[in-house]
Amino acid sequence: MKEKISAFFEKISPTLNRIGNNVYLQTIMGAMMALLGPIILGSFATLGAVYATQYKLTAIATLLATVSTLTIGSMALYLSFLMAKYLVQNLLKDDDGTAAGIISLMSFLIMTPLGSIKASGSVVSAIPTTWLSSQGVFSAMIIGLLVGRAYAYIKEHGWTIKMPQGVPPMVSQAFASLIPAVLIGIVAAAVSFGFSLTSWKSFHEMVFSLIQTPLSNIGGSIWAMIAVTLLMQILWFFGIHGTNVLLPLVTPIWLALDMQNLAAFKAGKAVPNMFGLAFFNVVTWGGTALGLVLLMLFVAKSKRYKELGKISIVPAIFGITEPIIFGTPLVLNFDFIFPFITNNTIAIVVAMLATKLGIVAEFTGAQAVFGLPLGFHAMIGGHISIVFLQLFIQLILSPILWFPWFKRADKKALLAETQEV
């Protein structure tokens, strides 16, 4: 049976690796990672604004609210630039994608309906922040990918203005992007006009209604998170980077849910979503492998596991578990197949029940910084109970879940060491 399962995954491994290395998935992941700085700054600003308001620090609260609006509240704006930039970088080796990013940002703004406000006694046009925030994430991704692909197509076919030799590279690059900018800008304007004649009134509204809302409803369920987590760990077990394969697909959905939570939290309302990227990252921190490291340190009788525990404990405290994954190894080790695949899912179910029972507060959607040690990683969650939840999962639940499987493996390792002596 083990041989059949291994043979099956060896057969499909090239296909899954190709999916993980797909240029569009790599673009999505790269753009999302590049957004990490503004998102984390915005998360801290949102939390600070809420507490500053509670303590009547009006000026500070106003400043932090502005920072929040211009970071996580403008996430789609940054994403429209980054998607095209990273895609062109992946498609054209001699282009850094900056021009494509600017054209994509221009197209996104052209397709964003304007509002109006009163300023200095007169009515002026204004860009509503509605489509710049989480509600515009999917349309920004689509525009970015389409513009990036169109820009690359135009460049590949030589539809650009070529300057003679001797002209400075900066000038040549500027003229090379003129035709793509004009052509793509005209298409964006035509699309914007076309959607203004429909019941949606804008491209953003259509994407939000037909794509983003249904995906959020599906992806924001406990069943979706369980399915993603199980499949991710199954791929990891067979040596395939499950995170690279699946996380780019769900990050836009889960991150949009988190941004909705942050907006509600800032407004003093109850957060609308229990699940999101912040929930997943805090609950499954380090793949719940710290429990296995602790067993190696304090329970193991074999020299092999004791030494591995000593090597792995410091990285594991900071959520870095590659030493234990590949040192044990957990990959293709059928002695640990059940806990390696299911522990994260069990932790998610426990966290969900604790949240539903009111033992743990719901996540605000603020994003944690990777690399922070256990407990500190969860502090951004918005409530001390979330810190206790992470400590409970990693220090109590995880060792219990690993224990019977580790005890058997440790006994086998000790026996082998004794026979060698």
Query: Helix (H, G, I), strand (E, B), or coil: what is residue 3?
Result: helix
For residue 171, the model assigns a pLDDT of 66
For residue 17, the model assigns a pLDDT of 67
- Minimum mean pLDDT range among 83-87, 185-189, 201-205, 267-271: 267-271
Report the first-to-last Cα separation within the chain, whole angstroms: 33
Rounded Cα distance between 376 and 13, Å, is 36
Number of helices (H), then strands (E), belonging to the chain: the values are 20, 2
Axis crossing angle, helix 137-156 with helix 98-110, rounded to the nearest 10: 130
For residue 242, the model assigns a pLDDT of 79
Q: Is the pLDDT of residue 69 over 70?
A: yes
Q: Give me the sign of the Cα torsion angle 74, 76, 82, 88.
A: negative
For residue 8, the model assigns a pLDDT of 64
Confidence of residue 322 (pLDDT cuts 50, 70, 90): confident
Backbone angles phi, psi at 75, to 5 degrees: -60, -40
- % of the chain residues with pLDDT over 70: 93
**Token code pair at residue 69:** 């609006």
Residue 164 CA, chain-centre distance (Å), reads: 44
Express each pLDDT in 150-205 by its tens digit. 999 999 988 887 777 766 666 667 777 889 999 999 999 999 999 999 999 999 99
Q: Is the pLDDT of residue 369 over 70?
A: yes
Query: What is the rounded average pLDDT of the residues 72-76?
Result: 91
Express each pLDDT in 215-254 by its tens digit. 888 888 999 999 999 999 998 888 777 777 788 888 889 9
Average pLDDT, the chain: 88
**Token code pair at residue 171:** 């000038």
Q: Is the pLDDT of residue 377 over 70?
A: yes
Confidence of residue 120 (pLDDT cuts 50, 70, 90): low
